[in-house]
């Protein structure tokens, strides 16, 4: 989720990685961990990594490769690199094989290996831990609507990925699962909170992976891992089970077209749990990637609403992206967003209360209160503080949220898109415990990581991180574009143009 931590109720939700960090990767009963025991052949890794998800599905459709071979390739890659990056923490290998044996639907991603994030996205019968020791034995009783749609599209779910406890940090580490590392440099973090998804895709385990985003949690790890990551408008994808209206589900992908095709699938119709409704798309998003974007009016925003210094290499990446957009015929104009940091933080009141609600539900399920050590100190403090929030405080937060949305809608009358850094700093160290004298503190790091992204969770509009730059030390640096509410189409059209002008698909992490 990676929401700003400057607000009292979300501050210091950090992870304490101690002896409990040695908890082993969970394997669902009956799962097979050794690649050599899965039967059949695997597609060679170079061939597997040469294709995006749609490309792999086309191989299956032409009978050039089987779904079993793709699954075995994904399992082999997991077993090869996961010990280094610690991204896949639930291995659902037997579940995936059973799905294939039952017969996969003839969807656009038939046979493509796929990963779910272990943070509130349910697959019945599998652990649903939120990255927390307090939920380590929690088993999902139902399956989220969006997961059903993934399966109907032919995706083969074979594992779940790490997230920091309740998704509250840009350091992808927890006492339950330990530290997840960035394939581009193992000393650094893949970002949060969908850091396991980012690390797995960047390492070539799968061409794309599910993520959620309540403060930058798709876009920040996409930036850290050199991937494309789009946060849809609220109401575009069903939030099942119930989540804060600031959250949304989608994915981290290597190609723009995979993201567009997957959003077509996950946004196909509303459910009873859809309390927002994004405007219907004019046409499938998968068609938008082949349409010219036209001449866009782009607001260039160099500074966040908070007083956070932008790293020089991040500023360089932003300037380079602005020049690239101008060279493609777009109008780029420097501008400043009309928000104060107090307004944005006030709108975040409900984020911490969401976690408090989860903890309270778990206490009722177990028939007891949470015990010392089952939550990190930061989360435990957050829960205590949020239980003091009055109904009046919560109502004020909702009004601040609505006011921010009105202000953004007015600002974007003049501009089609907003261009900014995805995050204010380069990918941080892998663990909070790795921070040294020259590094920002944990709180300052988390604030810098979410300094630009969080606003668009408040306003509800779509935003994407595009991997157009790498630092002098070889770390990915994303830039972010935000569109008008409901206008993912403009983002996909521009993203496809940028992907063609500055290809990134062939860049691989040096694992």
Known catalytic membership, residue 233: no
User: CB-based contacts of 86: which residues, under 8 Å, 6+ apart?
Assistant: 25, 162, 177, 178, 179, 180, 181, 196, 199
Residue 40 within any structural domain of the chain: yes
Is the model's pLDDT at 37 over the cut of 80? no
Residue 508 within any structural domain of the chain: no
Tell which phi-psi region holds residue 100, choosing left (phi > 0), alpha (psi between -120 and 50) or beta: alpha
User: What does the block give as tokens for 505?
Assistant: 């698909």
- Kindly name the residue from 117, 160, 231, 429 that is annotated as catalytic: 117
What does the alpha-carbon distance between residue 433 and residue 442 come to, in Å, rounded to a whole number? 9
Mean pLDDT of the chain: 91
Known catalytic membership, residue 117: yes
What does the alpha-carbon distance between residue 61 and residue 458 come to, in Å, rounded to a whole number? 41
Tell which phi-psi region holds residue 216, choosing left (phi > 0), alpha (psi between -120 and 50) or beta: left
User: CB-based contacts of 415: which residues, under 8 Å, 6+ apart?
Assistant: 297, 298, 299, 333, 335
The pLDDT, as a whole number, for residue 277 is 83
The pLDDT, as a whole number, for residue 275 is 65
DSSP letters of 283-298?
S-HHHHTTS---S-EE
Domain count, the chain: 1
Q: 308 by DSSP, 3-state: which?
A: coil
For the segment 6-31, the average pLDDT, to the nearest whole number, is: 36
For residue range 71-83, list pLDDT tens digits in order: 999 999 999 999 9
CATH number at residue 284: 3.90.1300.10
Using a 10 angstrom Cβ sphere, with 0-12 exposed, 13-18 middle and 19 or more buried, the burial of residue 371 is exposed
For the segment 389-394, the average pLDDT, to the nearest whole number, is: 90
- Kindly name the residue from 144, 189, 193, 376 that is annotated as catalytic: 193
Residue 195 within any structural domain of the chain: yes
Q: Are 40 and 68 in contact (CB under 8 A)?
A: yes
The pLDDT, as a whole number, for residue 293 is 98
Angle 377-386/349-366 helices, nearest 10 degrees? 100
The pLDDT, as a whole number, for residue 446 is 97
- Kindly name the residue from 5, 144, 217, 233 that is annotated as catalytic: 217
Residue 315 within any structural domain of the chain: yes
Residue 509 within any structural domain of the chain: no
- pLDDT band per the 50, 70, 90 thresholds, residue 505: very high
Residue 379 within any structural domain of the chain: yes
For residue range 410-432, list pLDDT tens digits in order: 999 999 999 999 999 999 999 99
Residue 150 within any structural domain of the chain: yes
| Full-model pTM | 0.93
For residue range 155-210, list pLDDT tens digits in order: 999 999 999 999 999 999 999 999 999 999 999 999 999 999 999 999 999 999 99
What does the alpha-carbon distance between residue 458 and residue 451 come to, in Å, rounded to a whole number? 12
Known catalytic membership, residue 132: no
The pLDDT, as a whole number, for residue 3 is 38
Is the model's pLDDT at 12 over the cut of 80? no
Question: Domain limits at 48?
Answer: 8-501
Residue 281 within any structural domain of the chain: yes
- pLDDT band per the 50, 70, 90 thresholds, residue 120: confident
Sign of CA dihedral 236, 239, 240, 245: negative
């Amino acid at each position: 989720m990676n929401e700003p931590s400057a607000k009292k109720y979300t501050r210091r939700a950090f992870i304490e990685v101690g002896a409990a960090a040695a908890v082993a990767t969970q394997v669902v009963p009956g799962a097979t961990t050794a690649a050599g025991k899965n039967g059949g052949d695997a597609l060679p890794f170079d061939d597997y990594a040469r294709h995006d998800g749609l490309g792999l599905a086309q191989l299956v459709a032409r009978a050039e490769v089987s779904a079993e071979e793709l699954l075995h390739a994904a399992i082999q890659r997991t077993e090869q690199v996961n010990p280094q990056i610690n991204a896949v923490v639930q291995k659902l290998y037997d579940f995936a094989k059973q799905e294939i044996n039952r017969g996969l639907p003839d969807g656009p991603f038939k046979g493509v290996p796929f990963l779910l994030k272990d943070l509130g996205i349910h697959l019945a019968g599998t652990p649903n831990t939120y990255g927390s020791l307090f939920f380590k034995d929690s088993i999902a009783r139902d399956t989220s609507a969006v997961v059903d749609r993934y399966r109907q599209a032919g995706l083969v779910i074979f594992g779940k990925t790490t997230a920091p406890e309740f998704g509250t940090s840009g350091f992808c580490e927890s006492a339950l699962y330990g530290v997840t590392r960035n394939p581009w440099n193992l000393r650094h973090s893949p970002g949060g909170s969908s850091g396991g998804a980012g690390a797995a895709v960047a390492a070539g385990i799968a061409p794309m992976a599910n993520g959620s985003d309540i403060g930058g949690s798709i876009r920040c790890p996409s930036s850290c891992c050199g991937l494309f990551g789009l946060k849809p408008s609220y109401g575009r994808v069903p939030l099942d089970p119930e989540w804060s209206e600031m959250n949304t589900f989608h994915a981290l992908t290597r190609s723009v077209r995979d993201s567009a095709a997957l959003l077509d699938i996950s946004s196909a119709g509303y459910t009873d749990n859809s309390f927002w409704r994004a405007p219907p798309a004019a046409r499938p998003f998968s068609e938008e990637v082949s349409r010219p974007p036209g001449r866009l009016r782009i607001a260039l925003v160099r500074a966040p609403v908070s007083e956070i210094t932008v790293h020089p290499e991040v500023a360089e990446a932003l300037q380079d992206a602005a020049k690239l957009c101008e060279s493609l015929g777009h109008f780029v104009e420097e501008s400043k967003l009309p928000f104060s940091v107090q307004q944005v933080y006030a709108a975040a009141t409900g984020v911490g209360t969401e976690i408090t609600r989860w903890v309270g539900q778990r206490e009722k399920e177990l028939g007891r209160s949470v015990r010392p050590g089952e939550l990190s100190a930061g989360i435990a403090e957050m829960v205590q503080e949020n239980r003091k929030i009055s109904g009046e405080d919560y109502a004020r937060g909702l009004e601040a949220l609505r006011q921010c949305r009105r202000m953004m809608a007015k600002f974007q009358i003049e501009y089609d898109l907003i261009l900014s850094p995805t995050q204010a700093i380069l990918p941080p160290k892998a663990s909070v415990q790795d921070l040294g004298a020259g590094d920002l503190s944990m709180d300052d790091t988390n604030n810098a990581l979410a300094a630009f992204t969080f606003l668009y969770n408040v306003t509800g509009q779509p935003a994407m991180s595009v991997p157009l730059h790498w630092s002098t030390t070889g770390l990915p640096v994303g830039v972010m574009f935000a569109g008008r509410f409901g206008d993912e189409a403009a983002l996909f059209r521009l993203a496809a143009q940028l992907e063609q002008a500055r290809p990134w698909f062939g860049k691989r992490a040096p694992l």
